[in-house]
Amino acid sequence: MQPTPTEPVNAQKKRRGLTRMWHAARYSLDGLRAAWQETAFRQEALAAMVLVPAAFWLGQTWLETAVLAAVVVLVLVVELLNSGIEAAIDRMGDQWHALSKKAKDMGSAAVLLSLLLCMGIWLAALWQRFAH
């Protein structure tokens, strides 16, 4: 039986209010648990556990502290998106395809750029704090 145009295909879409928020939070935690199984995410998360508190020590204004913490969290966000892309590509099959490679390479490049941005900002902050 086909769903009618007004009836959602996924029963999850009918949830509203606190029920929707509760289930969304559970899905997010499931995503973090799945990401923790990935070595790269685990390494970056452990670094974040050190760097985010260190941002409060290194930052001299609230804006510096926010930027230092934000670029660390940005690395985690980009890694999650990259892992999601990889999982979706891998679900389609294990055959090599140029578009699959392109998608995975671009996700990897996004992680690299976020890491370089993070390192650049942290190095500049450390330089400003200790080299002057």
pLDDT for residue 50 is more than 60: yes
pLDDT for residue 13 is more than 80: no
Torsion of CA 29, 26, 70, 45, to 10 degrees: 0
CATH class of 38-130: mainly alpha
**Mean pLDDT within 29-58:** 97
**Mean pLDDT within 126-132:** 91
pLDDT higher at 74 or 10: 74
Q: What per-residue confidence (pLDDT) applies to 94?
A: 85
Q: 């009618």: which residue's tokens?
A: 4
Domain spans, the chain: 1-37, 38-130
Q: Answer yes or no: 44 catalytic.
A: no
Catalytic residue among 7, 44, 79, 86: 79
